[in-house]
Chain A
Amino acid sequence: MLEIKNLQAGVEGKPILKGIDLSVKKGEVHAVMGPNGSGKSTLANVIAGREDYEVTGGSITLDSKDLLEMEPEERAQSGVFMAFQYPVEIPGVSNTYFLRAALNAKRKANGEEEIDAMSFLSHIREKVKMLGLSDDMLSRSVNEGFSGGEKKRNEIFQMAVLEPTLCVLDETDSGLDIDALKTVADGVNALRSPDRAFVVVTHYQRLLNYIIPDFVHILMDGKIVKSGGKELALELEEKGYGWLEQEFAGKN
């Protein structure tokens, strides 16, 4: 489904990703772990199409479509969703208005009719219930005055409403206490399905106690230096990144 080959990208001429290869199939959950500055967030943002990053080589395809050729909105319309590390506050725009605009843009791009107000409301109410959120989140301005936990939950809520096929979670666990972390993880788990894939970018292993990955990749200095199963995350937790840094340094 998602194929990343020899991806190289940077910002203002400074290389950050130095040849990433990653293959993700439908229904799989891949964790991408790495120390600060390793390029994890860059990878997530390049998949979503953030223009601050310049792609200098390699390819990303989603269901054989060239993602790098697409605008961010076209990627979203094709099924990509990134949960932001720092969700953006947009005062003056209600969550409901925002989600309806997003959902309709996606439907229009896929040749479907715009959703009518009643069906939209029952669609979002269902998701609110599924994720155990409170209704007042709907009428509030997008992320305005939300706590850290609320912002992250709102990302998962948007994901639930837009029903993407590829979900990229950019350090969704950062800044969350254990209760908020569990709520967010429960939301993600509720959205797991055989048709949907996840790329979970995180610094810490603790999120992976709740979102159990099928694969774990370790990113260091812009390259994937080790891949394995969920046990790799535990090993990393025990030994720290220093262990891999030494091993990695030894290889070069």
Chain B
Amino acid sequence: MANELLPRYDVELSTLLAHGESLVGSGPDWLRALRQKGIDTHREFGVPTPKNEEWKYTPLRPLTTLDLKSSEPGPAVFGIDLQWNEGADKVLVVNGRLDRNQLEVTKSDGLTIKSLRDAINENGDLVKKHLGLIAKQESHTFAALNTAIFEDGVFLHLAKGATIERPIEIVHVTNGDGQCVAPRVLIVAEEGAIAKIVETYLTDGEGTNLVLPVTEVYAATGTNVEHVRVQDESESTYSAALWAIKQEGGSEYRSYNVAFGGAIARTDQEFWLGGEHIVTRLDGVVVASGKQHIDNHTRLDHAKPNCNSFEVYKQIVDDEGTVVFNGKIFVYKDAQKTDAVQNNAALLLSPKATIDSKPQLEIFADDVKCTHGATVGRLEDTPLFYLRSRGISKEQAEGILVYAFAAEVLELITMDSVRDRLEARLFEKLSV
């Protein structure tokens, strides 16, 4: 099936695909078909080279030198702080497997959180309706690989009208070395449900691993969901994630992509706006330092009229770090009265810091409001002088201004404990 036209490295993650083949041997038919499709797609696309337009700025060559095996179950106790927030529901996922013994969920009407493996057995029809259908794996080689090899994951279901006030927190930990971990999350919010969700990706230990998370979110009519995703993995972790969202009419979904970690960390976030009067936020805060390469691609499909989307990315690049931003917005012919705002700003703190920024708007409707802006800058002298003229040292003034740059997005997070934790982490990361 290999397509000679697709620029790819001459490697095959064969151990992983063999593992996928073994998984195809079990489970319900629909899942077996889904996994087979994942294997085929990954075989076709492989590990793309920079000649593949979608991967032009993402240097994947280091992946070709890793001798990767499929993931093993990890330990229950860790040497790192899992950063749980007080008062949140706690869901721990280790090497892609939900730890049932450490699941702490306050019993609430309409809320189901369980292992994805269990859900496939117990809630098969529901899972089948969404799994692998929101994340369009045909165009995502690593999401396809995830589908082929995921062991387990999280199934989060909000029944019609369910309202969960406290944050639901999912912490993914990768532990071990030389593994390919495929965390999988399926979030289904039925009509009118309200929830706030935090997903955090962490690393325990010094190992070099490839993490390929896929998170799928279905937001039905009238839902209101806030979703924060924090990438704070070690600097020896390679990560390629797909975060896909399907929104129905009258839903509001606010997402915050916070990316601090990884050696190479690529996140694709895709939104399908499939109804009218949808509100979508897709904001990001990115901090790359050392030799980190952090890469975010967003894609919004405005398919129906009268929807609003707001996208603000704040990117801080220090040392020899590289940040890539690619923001696609498609406004379909039918999507009149679309109001889409995209804004990405980068702050370069060192002469060797790099940003590649590519806004990409394709508009096929004639009565729409779409604006986009991209700015790249260094800390400005005037605000710096203003702070110093009040007695604040140059160093502290710089810290305050960098922090303020990112705070504009972090401030929008309504989960106080999450926001406070992220602000503290931001300070910590910037002062290293």
Chain A residues engaging chain B, CB cutoff 8 angstroms? 48-52, 71-73, 75-77, 81-82, 84, 87-88, 90-93, 98-99, 101-103, 105-106, 109, 141, 158, 162
Contacts and interface: CB of A to CB of B under 8 A. Distances in A.
Given A73-B390, A90-B386, A105-B391, 7 more contacts: A71-B394, A73-B389, A77-B391, A92-B404, A92-B405, A93-B407, A99-B390
A122 B394 CA distance: 28
B382 A92 contact: no
Interface string B393-413: 110110011011111100100
Top 9 A-B pairs, shortest CB-CB distance = A92-B404, A76-B391, A92-B407, A102-B390, A88-B386, A72-B388, A105-B391, A106-B391, A73-B388
A88 B383 contact: yes
B374 interface: no
A93 B392 CA distance: 14
B381 interface: yes
Contact of B393 (A84, A92, A105): A105
A78 B194 CA distance: 54
Contact of B396 (A77, A101, A103): A101
B427 interface: no
Interface in B192-210: none
A76 B390 contact: yes
Given A91-B404, A92-B407, A73 B386 contact: no
Given A51-B381, A88-B382, A105 B389 contact: no
Nearest to B380: A88
Nearest to B400: A93
B389 A72 contact: yes
B329 to A, nearest CB: 25
A220 to B, nearest CB: 27
Contacts of B393: 73, 105
Given A76-B390, A92-B408, A98-B390, A52 B381 contact: yes
Nearest to B408: A92
Interface residues of B, number: 24
B408 A91 contact: yes
Contacts of B394: 71, 73
B375 to A, nearest CB: 14
Given A51-B385, A101-B396, A90 B390 contact: no
B108 to A, nearest CB: 33
Given A91-B408, A92-B408, A49 B389 contact: yes
30 contacts: A49-B388, A50-B389, A51-B385, A52-B381, A71-B394, A73-B388, A73-B390, A73-B391, A76-B388, A81-B389, A81-B390, A87-B386, A88-B382, A88-B386, A90-B400, A90-B404, A91-B408, A92-B404, A93-B403, A93-B404, A93-B407, A98-B387, A101-B392, A101-B396, A102-B391, A103-B391, A105-B391, A105-B393, A162-B390, A162-B391
A88 B405 CA distance: 14
Contacts of A91: 404, 408
Contacts of A109: 391
A25 B270 CA distance: 66
Contacts of B403: 92-93
Contacts of B411: 92
Contacts of B390: 73, 76, 81, 98-99, 102, 105, 158, 162
Contact of B386 (A84, A99, A105): A84
Contact of A76 (B382, B383, B389): B389
B118 to A, nearest CB: 43
B389 A48 contact: yes
Contacts of A75: 389
Contacts of A81: 389-390
Nearest to B409: A92
Contacts of B388: 49, 71-73, 76
Contacts of B383: 88, 90
Q: Residue among A51, A90, A92 with the most chain B CB within 10 A? A: A92
Contacts of B401: 90
Contacts of B405: 92
A103 B396 CA distance: 13
A105 B382 contact: no
A80 B389 CA distance: 8
B378 to A, nearest CB: 15
A81 B386 CA distance: 11
A49 B385 CA distance: 9
Nearest to A89: B383
